[in-house]
Amino acid sequence: MTHSFGHYVSIINKYQHIWINERLEHLGIGSGQFAFINHISRNEGISQKDLSRRVVVDKATTAKAVRKLIDRGYIEKRVNETDNRIHNLFLTERGWEILPELKRVRRENSEVLKEGMSVEEEELVEKILKKMLKNISFQISSHPCCMKRGINE
């Protein structure tokens, strides 16, 4: 093997971000905000803290993405009714309007990645990637960095 698995995963991830960014540029968002909108749409009212855990990023990154999405009019932040220290996140009407396009871009991206693969190869790649994710997450699940970021919770 010429390169490590991590090398290929990293390069694929970088190219995927470029590909997504090109298709979402007209909306004023990029691949970084893409995951946040998707998670908020599936978990209306999610707190920023829980969103950070789900997207597996630190609170500062989440705060920056949330601010950008609020500024663009895609999401809104509301104070939690029972605990005013917590802010819940919701898609705005504009956010719901772009969701079908985001889903289309995600589907097309998946098709690009699977191009030329048989169904059996697709299933095998997915199985291997899930195993790699499980392997690495198990190895870091008790690491202080991950505990602090909420990955282990």
User: What is the pTM (predicted TM-score) of this model?
Assistant: 0.81
Q: List pLDDT tens digits, range 108-126.
A: 999 999 999 999 999 999 9
Write down the mean pLDDT value for the chain: 88
Q: Does pLDDT of 153 surpass 60?
A: no
8 vs 98: CA distance, rounded Å: 31
- Rounded-to-integer distance, Cα 150 and Cα 56, Å: 8
Sheet of 75-79, strand order? 46-47, 87-91, 75-79
d(CA 24, CA 101): 9
